[in-house]
A and B are shown apart, each in its own frame.
Chain A
C-alpha cells in the first residue's frame, strides 16, 4: 500500500498524473455573491500591504487580507444552510478530512449553456449523460461544466433587474442526485451552486437545501472544468479549518491520469 502511495506521488511529480488547478485567483475584482442590500453581505477579497522591504518591515513583504467564507473559489459546508444546521460534523473544522478527497463526474453542458444563461440541469439531462459516460457513483463530486468561468464578469455574474441569470440545477435534479445517486457534493463554475433564479424554485436554492440537508458539500467559482474528463478525475478540496466555519475559500485541485 505504502508503495502505491509513493508510486502515486512519483506519478504526480513526473507528470503521469497531472494536477489541474480548478481555482480562481483571489482578486479584488472577482465578483462576490450579491444579496439584496438590506441583508448582510459577504466581504469581497481585499488586500493591504503590511510591508514591502520598506520602513514598515525592511527585509520582508507580506499582506493582510480580508474576505468572507464564501469569497472566490470556495467550499460550502452543510452548516451553511438552515437545512443542514443540526447535522453532526457539519462545519469546515469538524468534517471528516477523508471527505476532502473524492472522485468526480463532470457533466458537460457548456454547449447548452452557450448563449443560454437560464439553462436548467434536469434529471433527463443527467440520465442522458449517464447513458453515455456511465452511472454516477456514490461518493462522486458532481461538477457542472458550463464554461461560465470563461465569461467576462458582467455576463459571468449575469445580474439583471430581476436577479442573476446563470445556469444551475432544478430542485428535482438535486434531490435525485442526493437520493438516487448518493453524491458527495455539487460543484459549479458560477458564483453559487444554485441556478441564478433559484429563489423562485420550490424549495428555493435546492442545491443548498438538499445537498446540505443531507450533509453533502458544495464547491463554486471553479474553473478549468473543461480540462477534466467526464469520469476519472480525483478532486482534492480541503477547506481552511475555521472554527464552526460555514465554508472557506480554498485551492481546489484535480488529479487526472495523462492520456497515454
Chain B
C-alpha cells in the first residue's frame, strides 16, 4: 500500500533549493510517436499493418516481416510483471538523488516485453497496466501500475515524478471573474491544493459568483490583471515563490472575423489578454517556477493554457478570436521548451465553444466550465501535456490528422 503523502513541511531557509534534473531525454524520431501518445494520456505502440505484430521498442520496420508500415495505434495496456529490481545506485544525476528506484520487465498481453518503472504497489508476477507518461524531461517513459486502483495510489513517489498532481500544491488561477476561473478554483480546492490563489482584475467592478468564490476553502483572492505588466510582476513578487501550478483562465471571446470587424480595438484587446497576457505571466512567474521544479512534494509542476481548438484551425465566425488563440498556442509551445529544463510541464487544453455568455448563440455541443475544470485537474493528475475536451475539440483534433483542408472549408 502506498504511504499517503505527508503535507509538505515549510522549507528550511538554510537549505539550498535542489536544482531540477531530468533523465536522459534523447529519443529517436520514430520514438516520438510515444511522446505524442503520452502527451495525450493514451497508450499506443507500433503495430505492423502487414503482419499485425505489436512492436516495442519503436523501430522503422517490423522486426518480423520487415514491413515499413508500422504506425502507432492504441493497444491494450494489460500485462504481467515478469521480473522486478530495485536500483540503489546510479551514475545518472537524476536517478542518483532518487534511489532506491524500482524497475521491472512486463510481458504485455499484446506481445512485447517492456522494461519500465514500477509503481510501489506492483509486485513480481502481478497483473499490471502499463501507462505511458512524460518524465521530468518531457520524454516518454512507461510505468507499470497496479491492475486495480490501490489506496493513495497517486502519492507513489515514482508516479508523482511523472504527474502534476494538484494535491498539496499551490495553484494560481489567473482570472476568477468568469465561470471558468470559478469552476477551476473549486476543482483545485477539491483536488487538495493547499492554496488556490485566484486573480481578480478591476476589483471595483462587481462580478457574478463573487461571494461563492470567496467561500471556496483555501481560496485566496489576489489582485492580478494579465493586461497590466506591473500588476503581474507585483503579484509575482508576492506569491511567485509559492506558485506550483498556474492555470491561465484569462480569456477574451468576441465574435467577428478579420475583414468584417470595424477597426482594431477589439483585436488589440484580444491579443493583449491572450498573447501578451501569457507572455507577462511567463516572464513574471516562469523563471521562478523553472527554478523550483525539484523543490520537494510541492515542487513547481505545470503551466496550464486554456485554448480554443480554433487555435489549430480558424473559425471565421470567431475569426479574430481564433487568431489570438493561435498566437497564444504558439507562445505556449515556446514556453514549454523554456520550462522543460525545470521539469515544469505546459499543459495545453483545447476545447470548442464553452457554455459561457460569449457563445450564447452557438448551438450545443458546448463544454461546461465545471467539466472543463474537472478535465484539467484529471489531466494534471495523469501528467498530460495536451488535452482535447468535448466533442468539437476531439472531432477537430481527429480530422486535422486526416484532412485539414476539409475542416477549413466546413468552418467557413
Q: Which of B225, B228, B263 has the most CB of A within 10 A?
A: B228
Say whether A161 contacts B206, CB under 8 Å.
yes
Q: Are A31 and B202 CB-contacts (below 8 A) given A40-B265, A40-B266?
A: yes
Q: A48-B229, A153-B204, A157-B204 are in contact. List 18 more A-B contacts (CB 8 A).
A: A28-B230, A34-B205, A40-B263, A40-B266, A41-B265, A41-B269, A43-B265, A46-B227, A46-B228, A46-B229, A49-B229, A154-B203, A154-B204, A154-B206, A156-B204, A159-B204, A159-B205, A161-B206
Closest partner residue, chain A, to B230 (CB atom): A28
How far apart sit A153 and B231, CA to CA, in the bound complex (Å)?
17
Give me 22 A-to-B residue pairs in the complex whose CB atoms sit less than 8 angstroms apart, sorted by A's number. Answer: A28-B225, A34-B205, A40-B263, A40-B265, A41-B265, A43-B265, A44-B227, A46-B227, A46-B228, A47-B229, A47-B230, A48-B229, A49-B229, A153-B203, A154-B203, A154-B206, A156-B204, A157-B205, A159-B204, A159-B205, A159-B206, A160-B206
Tell me which residues across on chain A come within 8 A of B203, comparing CB atoms.
153-154
Q: Is the interface of A mostly helix, strand, loop or mixed?
A: mixed
Q: Mark A158-177, 1 if CB is under 8 A from B, else 0.
A: 01110000000000000000
Closest partner residue, chain B, to A157 (CB atom): B204
Q: Return the 4 tightest CB-CB contacts between A and B, nearest first.
A: A153-B204, A154-B204, A28-B228, A157-B204
How far, in Å, is A145 (CB) from chain B's closest CB?
A: 22
Say whether A31 contacts B204, CB under 8 Å.
yes
Tell me which residues across on chain A come within 8 A of B266, comparing CB atoms.
40
Tell me which residues across on chain B come within 8 A of A156, comparing CB atoms.
204
Binding site for A on B (CB under 8 A): 202-206, 225, 227-231, 263, 265-266, 269
How far apart sit A40 and B228, CA to CA, in the bound complex (Å)?
19
Closest partner residue, chain A, to B265 (CB atom): A40
Q: Are A28 and B205 CB-contacts (below 8 A) given A40-B266, A41-B269?
A: no
Closest partner residue, chain B, to A30 (CB atom): B204
Tell me which residues across on chain B come within 8 A of A48, comparing CB atoms.
229
How far, in Å, is A33 (CB) from chain B's closest CB?
A: 12
Q: Mark A89-133, 1 if CB is under 8 A from B, else 0.
A: 000000000000000000000000000000000000000000000
Tell me which residues across on chain A come within 8 A of B227, comparing CB atoms.
44, 46
Tell me which residues across on chain A come within 8 A of B263, comparing CB atoms.
40
How far, in Å, is B271 (CB) from chain A's closest CB?
A: 12
Binding site for B on A (CB under 8 A): 28, 31, 34, 40-41, 43-44, 46-49, 153-154, 156-157, 159-161
How far apart sit A220 and B35, CA to CA, in the bound complex (Å)?
58
How far, in Å, is A153 (CB) from chain B's closest CB?
A: 4
Tell me which residues across on chain A come within 8 A of B225, comparing CB atoms.
28
How far apart sit A68 and B101, CA to CA, in the bound complex (Å)?
60
Closest partner residue, chain B, to A153 (CB atom): B204
Q: Which of B203, B230, B231, B266 has the most CB of A within 10 A?
A: B230
Which one of A28, A40, A43, A157 contacts B231 once the chains associate, using CB atoms below 8 Å? A28
Closest partner residue, chain A, to B225 (CB atom): A28
How far, in Å, is A192 (CB) from chain B's closest CB?
A: 15
Tell me which residues across on chain A come within 8 A of B230, comparing CB atoms.
28, 47
How far apart sit A119 and B365, CA to CA, in the bound complex (Å)?
48
How far, in Å, is A245 (CB) from chain B's closest CB?
A: 16
How far apart sit A71 and B227, CA to CA, in the bound complex (Å)?
16
Q: Which of A41, A46, A49, A157 has the most CB of B within 10 A?
A: A46
How far apart sit A40 and B267, CA to CA, in the bound complex (Å)?
11
Tell me which residues across on chain B come within 8 A of A31, comparing CB atoms.
202, 204
Tell me which residues across on chain B come within 8 A of A46, comparing CB atoms.
227-229
How far, in Å, is B225 (CB) from chain A's closest CB?
A: 7
Closest partner residue, chain A, to B268 (CB atom): A43
Tell me which residues across on chain B come within 8 A of A160, comparing CB atoms.
206
Tell me which residues across on chain B come within 8 A of A49, comparing CB atoms.
229
How far, in Å, is B273 (CB) from chain A's closest CB?
A: 12
How far apart sit A103 and B234, CA to CA, in the bound complex (Å)?
42
How far apart sit A204 and B297, CA to CA, in the bound complex (Å)?
60
Tell me which residues across on chain B come within 8 A of A40, comparing CB atoms.
263, 265-266
How far, in Å, is A199 (CB) from chain B's closest CB?
A: 17
How far, in Å, is B279 (CB) from chain A's closest CB?
A: 11
Closest partner residue, chain B, to A160 (CB atom): B206
Tell me which residues across on chain B come within 8 A of A28, comparing CB atoms.
225, 228, 230-231
How far apart sit A159 and B205, CA to CA, in the bound complex (Å)?
6
How far apart sit A7 and B387, CA to CA, in the bound complex (Å)?
74
Tell me which residues across on chain B come within 8 A of A41, comparing CB atoms.
265, 269
How far apart sit A157 and B203, CA to CA, in the bound complex (Å)?
11
How far, in Å, is A117 (CB) from chain B's closest CB?
A: 14
Tell me which residues across on chain A come within 8 A of B204, comparing CB atoms.
31, 153-154, 156-157, 159
How far, in Å, is A77 (CB) from chain B's closest CB?
A: 20
Closest partner residue, chain B, to A48 (CB atom): B229
Closest partner residue, chain A, to B358 (CB atom): A37
Closest partner residue, chain B, to A152 (CB atom): B204
How far apart sit A44 and B266, CA to CA, in the bound complex (Å)?
13
Tell me which residues across on chain A come within 8 A of B229, comparing CB atoms.
46-49
Tell me which residues across on chain B come within 8 A of A43, comparing CB atoms.
265
Closest partner residue, chain B, to A32 (CB atom): B202
Tell me which residues across on chain A come within 8 A of B269, comparing CB atoms.
41
Closest partner residue, chain A, to B280 (CB atom): A48
How far apart sit A161 and B205, CA to CA, in the bound complex (Å)?
10
How far, in Å, is B334 (CB) from chain A's closest CB?
A: 20
How far, in Å, is B209 (CB) from chain A's closest CB?
A: 13
